[in-house]
Amino acid sequence: METFQDILQAWPAQRRTDAVQAATEEHVFSALQKNILQPEDFLALLSPAASPHLELMARRAHELTLRFFGRAVHIFTPLYISDVCTNQCRYCGFNAKNKQARRHLSVDEAAAEAKAVADLGFQHILLLTGDARHLSSPEYIAAVARRIKPWFASVGIEVYSLTTEEYAMLVDAGVDSMTMFQETYAPELYGWLHPAGPKRDYAFRLNAPQRAAQAGMRSMGVGALLGLDSFEQDAFATGLHAWWLQRRYPGMDVSVSIPRICPHEGSFDVPHALDDRHLVQYVTALRCFLPRAGITCSSRESAFMRDHLLPLGVTRVSAGVSTAVGGRVTEDAHNPGQFEITDGRSLEQMVSALAGMGYQPVLKDWEDPVGAWA
């Protein structure tokens, strides 16, 4: 069976570098005139040749966003239920070597936190855990999802890589979406960034979205942590991943997340810090390449940046975010969180801001047609 790993191997780093360096203004203009772009066109839009034409790219991206999404913006919130982790990711606040307070919620505690989130008006929730199967097992995640599903239209997960059978178990428990950050698509860099822990298995993580799709997930999100590798390399690989998933599983909702590294517990020097101009170039290039894909911008970015990325292609935003475990109703939640958030707007503030800019805040855009959770 073909996997995305097979596709990515056909686009080695040197091929991408050569294509980016060879791109010209003519390639950029040609890509912006097409209704259906190929990977080569996407690379041209990510290249230095496209940089002087961001305004033109922005107009095209805006047209496509209005055509396929109107002025609707989906709102969700994350819920961290455990930060105990066995990985030693160099860039992450959950790194097992970081000496910090850790917290793992019981199913009852997680349900209480989720109920507090639901009472605020959220309909889409994303469950997050560290990678520690002895505590945050797939069975534990399924138990939490099953408890909280009656309160939400959609329950998603952003957890460690699972097997097809484990994803199927979560689907049966009410989970309908998953997000998987490859972090970086460069195998050697990935190995250095993950010196120990189960996350070190590059291929198992890379092919996780395909296993989730085979298990029946309705919605899928992929992304790289921008700043780990050069802009063109990880930006292209992420877009290619989403493009392949759309073609392989046309009935599935596919989205791309665009996170830049934020400050966190521990220390890590960002090797390829991404400036605002390149982030704008990435979003507009993504929208042109993937006109029907959602683009998610989290609270890592400032309110100013998120508001200004909406017309360029962003269709999903978080609100009311805390990256710490517990704290809404659970006592003694003093853990520092996975990373520092920049946009701290509540759901009410986000809804008001979107409406003030002429957008339609969407709290619910899907419901289980079977009605099993009613």
Residue at token pair 């860099």: 189
Residues 293, 221: Cα–Cα separation, whole Å = 10
Residue 51 in this model has a pLDDT that exceeds 50: yes
Can you point out the beta strands (E) in 227-315? 253-257, 294-297
Q: Where are the alpha helices (DSSP H) in 23-106?
A: 25-32, 39-46, 54-69
Q: What is the pLDDT at residue 335?
A: 58
Query: Could you tell me whether strands 219-224 and 175-183 are parallel, antiparallel, or unpaired per DSSP bridges?
Result: parallel
Residues 102, 132: Cα–Cα separation, whole Å = 12
Q: What is the pLDDT at residue 64?
A: 98
Q: What is the pLDDT at residue 372?
A: 52
Mean pLDDT in residue range 278-302 = 97
Q: How many CA atoms lie within 13 A of 7 on its CB side?
A: 21
CA 217 vs CA 133, 149, 228, 259: distances in Å: 21, 15, 28, 23
Of 244, 329, 256, 202, residue with least CA distance to 11:
244
Residue at token pair 């069975």: 139
**What DSSP string runs through 109-178?**
HHHHHHHHHHHTT--EEEEEE-S-TTTS-HHHHHHHHHHHGGG-SEEEEE-S---HHHHHHHHHTTEEEE
Q: What is the pLDDT at residue 322?
A: 86
Residue 266 in this model has a pLDDT that exceeds 60: no
Residue at token pair 């890509």: 31
Instruction: Quickly count: other Cβ atoms within 10 Å of residue 238's Cβ.
Output: 23
Exposure class string for 94-133: b at 16+ Cβ within 10 A, else e: bbbebeeebbbbebebbbbbbeebeeebbbbbbbbbbbbe
Residues 6 or more apart from 320 whose CB is under 8 A from it? 77, 117, 120, 122, 345, 346, 347, 350
Condensed to tens digits (0 to 9), the pLDDT of residues 128-164 reads 999 999 999 999 999 999 999 999 999 999 999 999 9
Question: Domains along the chain?
Answer: 4-362 (3.20.20.70)
Q: What is the pLDDT at residue 56?
A: 98
Would you place residue 265 in the very low, low, confident or very high pLDDT band (cuts 50, 70, 90)?
Answer: very low
Q: What is the pLDDT at residue 264?
A: 46
Residues 333, 252: Cα–Cα separation, whole Å = 37
pTM (predicted TM-score): 0.94
- DSSP single-letter state for residue 179: E
The SS3 of residue 104 is strand
Residues 138, 204: Cα–Cα separation, whole Å = 16
Mean pLDDT in residue range 238-265 = 90
Would you place residue 189 in the very low, low, confident or very high pLDDT band (cuts 50, 70, 90)?
Answer: very high
Residue 42 in this model has a pLDDT that exceeds 50: yes
Helix (H) or strand (E) holding 277: helix 276-289
Mean pLDDT in residue range 214-219 = 97
Q: What is the pLDDT at residue 337?
A: 53
Residue 371 in this model has a pLDDT that exceeds 70: no
Condensed to tens digits (0 to 9), the pLDDT of residues 92-129 reads 888 888 887 889 999 999 999 999 999 999 999 999 99
- DSSP single-letter state for residue 349: H
Mean pLDDT in residue range 178-193 = 97
Q: Are 287 and 65 in contact (CB under 8 A)?
A: yes
* Lowest-confidence segment of 60-69, 80-89, 360-369 by average pLDDT: 360-369
In percent, the amount of the chain with pLDDT more than 70 equals: 94
| Mean per-residue pLDDT over the chain, rounded | 93
Mean pLDDT in residue range 8-20 = 96
For residue 261, what are its two tokens? 């590294």
Residue 374 in this model has a pLDDT that exceeds 60: no
